[in-house]
Amino acid sequence: MIAIFDNFIKDETLLAEIEQNKTELFKDPGNYKYWQGWWNSSATNTAKKIIQYVWGDHCPIAETFNIDGFEYWTGIQSADADTGFQNNLEHHYDKDEAWFKKTKEIVTPIMGSVYYPPNQDFDGGELHVWTDGTQKQPEIIKAKPNRFIIFPAGRYVHCVKSVTSGTRHAMAINLWEKEPYSKQKGLLTIEQ
């Protein structure tokens, strides 16, 4: 299952906050964070407000999940090598990296998602998702501003193809049924 929702965030106040706080939101790409949701603590920053909007207040799918919390991080891919960011993201599936390193056992989130904030100008950076195995053709999803994508990121191999011009920003959000071992080991920044 891959679900794609365009022009997803409609709340003008939240959209303005995302734009105003874009530098803060994307200041530490690749720094994994964990938040146990709005039912445990208020959404006190822009990232948490996005999570509450997309998975709580305006969740576009009818499926119900029992979750402990949200692992989230931001990513930046850029065509400009001088930025220090790669222009792509290699093939992978999302998993509890610390648990895998310790046991070689694969534990994955119950669902994943990606949000592309508005007001971006770039080419390339498509999300490729292999829903029928890596021997077949992937689903190709264009990265578009204010687009929200839901897919089982722990089950499907996926990657980001090269950004050919400009810079692509994205926020990834995984839902965990049980607290990941990576959180226990301090590899995820805990957000209260």
Q: What is the DSSP string of 155-192?
A: TSEEEEPPEEEEEEEEEEEEEESS--HHHHTT-SEEE-
The one-letter code for the residue type at 132 is D
Residue 18 · residue 25 · CB < 8 Å: yes
Residue 17 · residue 117 · CB < 8 Å: no
**Cα 150 to the center of its chain, rounded Å:** 9
Which residues of 58-110 form beta strands (DSSP E)?
A: 69-78, 89-92
Give bridge partners of residue 167 from the DSSP assignment: 78
The one-letter code for the residue type at 125 is G
Cα(88)–Cα(77) distance, integer angstroms: 6
Report pLDDT for 192: 57
Report pLDDT for 186: 83
List domains and CATH numbers for the chain. 3-191 (2.60.120.620)
Provide the terminal-to-terminal Cα distance of the chain, rounded to the nearest Å.
31
Give bridge partners of residue 70 from the DSSP assignment: 35, 175
Q: What is the residue-level pLDDT of the chain in tens, covering all 192 positions?
A: 899 999 999 999 999 999 999 999 999 998 999 999 999 999 999 999 999 999 999 999 998 899 999 999 999 999 998 999 999 999 999 999 999 999 999 999 999 999 999 999 999 999 999 999 999 999 999 999 999 999 999 999 999 999 999 999 999 999 999 999 988 888 887 775
